[in-house]
Amino acid sequence: MPFATEAVVLGLSTGPACVAFCGPVLAPLLAAEGRTLRGASARLAAFLGGRLVGYLMFAAAAWALGAAIPLHPGPRALLSGAMHLLIAGMLAFAALPRRKPAPCAHGCAGCPHEAGERFRTAGPALLGLATGINLCPPFVAAALRASESGSLAGALLFFTLFFAGTSVWFVPAAGLGLLGKLGPAVTIARIAMAVMAAWYAYLGLFGILGGLIHA
């Protein structure tokens, strides 16, 4: 099978697993922050964009260092732990109830200077980046194959096509934005994010602890 086709097929075949791994982060985020189908689509695009950047960064590292190094138990646990802590922090922030912002000192409507508004724009992208570097099984499979490519461009292309294959499975998630119209759905999604934040914080702390022990 040609290298490019293999990347797309790998992405398509492991996409459901990627959705399952990213679901705990993405689903409540879209339900809480999406509000409309359009808003949710924009946030999903930001999340996927962040995820692509994460993939490409890892592809570059995998190619430059060889897959064996970033996938070594010690660094792998440290990297995963750090990403999990980042996810936990952002989910905890997203779970906080939003107060109606005070009138903006800059005089702008829908103020981008307000912390909550800034999170609604940048948060999904950062969460996408953090989950993108999360070493789930499909990702590890792709990393191993990408590291076998002859060049950095090849590794980047492999990960881009792999990403495109997996992303097809994420498209229906934009529909979760419609839930945001229901008042309780937003509250429920925020509570779910708080539970997830505790879970990822635990994973992060134990990941870093494990990584330090291995190192």
Cβ atoms of residues 67 and 142 within 8 Å: no
Pair of tokens at residue 99: 């107060």
> Which strand (E) or helix (H) includes residue 175?
none
In the bound state with other proteins, the residue whose beta carbon lies nearer, of 61 and 203, is: 203
Applying CB under 8 A, the site for other proteins has a residue count of: 20
Binding status of residue 35 toward other proteins by CB under 8 A: no
Rounded to a whole number of angstroms, the minimum distance from the CB of residue 208 to other proteins is 13
Rounded to a whole number of angstroms, the minimum distance from the CB of residue 136 to other proteins is 9
What track of x and - describes contact with other proteins for positions 194 through 213 (by CB under 8 A)? xxx--x--x---x-------
Which of 190, 204, 207, 208 is the binder for other proteins (CB under 8 A)?
190
143, 144, 146, 152 alpha-carbon torsion, rounded to 10° = 90
**Helix orientation angle between 37-65 and 3-33, rounded to the nearest 10 degrees:** 140
Residue 74: φ, ψ to 5°: -65, -65
**Helix orientation angle between 152-167 and 37-65, rounded to the nearest 10 degrees:** 150
In the bound state with other proteins, the residue whose beta carbon lies nearer, of 20 and 96, is: 20
What track of x and - describes contact with other proteins for positions 151 through 170 (by CB under 8 A)? --------------------
Dihedral angle sign, alpha carbons of residues 28, 32, 33, 38: positive
Give which of 103, 107, 119, 95 is closest to 189, Cα–Cα: 95
Rounded to a whole number of angstroms, the minimum distance from the CB of residue 29 to other proteins is 11
Binding status of residue 189 toward other proteins by CB under 8 A: yes
Binding status of residue 87 toward other proteins by CB under 8 A: no
* Most distant CA atoms of the chain, gap in Å: 59
**SS3 call for 100:** coil
Which of 79, 142, 192, 208 is the binder for other proteins (CB under 8 A)?
192
In the bound state with other proteins, the residue whose beta carbon lies nearer, of 161 and 173, is: 173
What track of x and - describes contact with other proteins for positions 2 through 31 (by CB under 8 A)? --------------x---xx-xx--xx---
**Strand runs labelled E in 39-118:** none
Give the binding site for other proteins (CB under 8 A). Answer: 16, 20-21, 23-24, 27-28, 184, 187-192, 194-196, 199, 202, 206
